[in-house]
Amino acid sequence: MGGAPLFRFVLQRALKMVVMVFAIITANFLLVHAAPGDPASVMAGEAGAADPQFMAQLRAQFGLDKPLSTQLWLYLGHVAQGDLGMSYRQQRPVAGLIMERLSATLILTGSAFVIAIFGGIALGALAARKVGRFSETLITILALGLYATPIFWVGLMLVLIFSVWLDWLPSFGMNTVGADLTGFAAAVDTLHYLLLPALTLGLFYMAVYARLTRAAMLEVASQDFVRTARAKGVPEGRVQRHHILRNALLPVITVAGIQAGQLIGGSILVETVFAWPGIGRLAFDALLARDYQILLGVFLVTSVLVLVFNLITDLLYAWIDPRVEVM
C-alpha cells in the first residue's frame, strides 16, 4: 500500500463523504421536521402563554414560519460554514453544546469498543480451540444470552448487583459531585463511574465478536495452509496465532468497523440509564423539547463519526491483509 495510491484513496473517500454528509443532513432535516409538534408549542407551553399571537412570534423568531425548503436551504448554508445553529431552548450554539458532551460519549463508546473487541476475540478464540468441550458450550451459551438480552436490562441488573447489593461501584453520573478532584485522582474517579456503562454497552457487541471469531477460526482451521503448517512441525500456539487467528480477524474487523459507529447510537440508551453526560443524553433531552437544532447537530456529528470509522476500517483491513489493495 504505497503513499500515492493511499493518498488518492483517502481523497476520493473524503469527497464521497462530503456528498454523503449533505445527503444525510437533508434526510435528517426532513424527517425531524415531519415529526408532530414544534419547538414553539413546547416553549409556549412552558411559558404558560400558548396563545396564537405568542406562538406566531416564537415561530418568526426561530425562522419556523418560513417554507420548509427555505429552512433547509438556510440550514445547509450554515452547515457549510461550520455553523450548526442555536439551540431553541438553551439559546446557546449547538456546536458548543455538542463539543461539551462529545468527549464523554467518545470515552464511553471507546471503552465499550475495547471491551467488546478484545473480550469477544479472546472468548471466540478459546471456544474455537475447545470445540466440543464444556468451556466451548459455556461460552456459546453466554454469547447467545448476552446477544438476546436488552441492553437496558443488562444495565439495570449491573446497577442492582454492583451498586445496590455490593456497593462497589457508583450507578449514575460521570464524576463525584463536589469532590473537585484533579489529575490522576480525577481519572480514577471517572473510571469508577465508567465501568458499569462501558460494560453494559460492550457486552452485547462482545457476544457478536465471540460468535464471529469462533466461526471464522473454525473455517480457517480447515484450510490447506493450516494443515501444511502443522505437517511442517510448526508449534500449535504459533499455528493458532499467526495462521488461524490472523486470517480469522478479517471478517471480525469488517463487522467491528461497521458497528463502531453503531456504538454511538447505542450509547443514547446507556447514557440515559446511567445519567452519563454525553451527546446521547443531549439528543434524548432535545427530542423531548423538540429542539430541532440540537437533534440535527447530534445526527450530523454521529454520521461523520460513522463515515470516519468506516474509512479507518478499510485502511486497517488493507494493512492486516496485504492482498487487499486500496484503489
Considering only residues 206 and 91, tell me which one the structure prediction assigns the higher pLDDT. Answer: 206
Phi, psi of 133 (to 5 degrees): -100, 170
Q: Which residues contact 179 (CB under 8 A, 6 or more apart)?
A: 189
Residue 57 has pLDDT above 70, yes or no: no
142-176 tens-digit pLDDT: 888 888 888 888 888 888 898 889 888 888 888 87
Q: Give the homologous superfamily in CATH for domain 101-320.
A: MetI-like (1.10.3720.10)
Q: What is the pLDDT of residue 55?
A: 65
Q: Where in the chain is the domain with CATH 1.10.3720.10?
A: 101-320
Range with the lowest mean pLDDT among 42-46, 57-61, 69-73, 207-211?
Answer: 42-46
Higher pLDDT, 136 or 157: 157
Structure confidence by residue, pLDDT tens digits, 23-39: 888 888 887 777 666 66
Quote the pTM value: 0.79
pLDDT on residue 279: 87
Q: How confident is the model at residue 287 (pLDDT cuts 50, 70, 90)?
A: confident
65: helix, strand or coil? coil
Mean pLDDT of 174-200: 83
pLDDT tens-digit readout, 69-115: 888 888 888 888 888 888 877 778 888 888 988 889 889 988 998 89
Q: If you average pLDDT over every residue of the chain, what do you get?
A: 80
CA–CA distance from 178 to each of 35, 107, 175, 186, 197 (Å)?
40, 22, 9, 12, 21
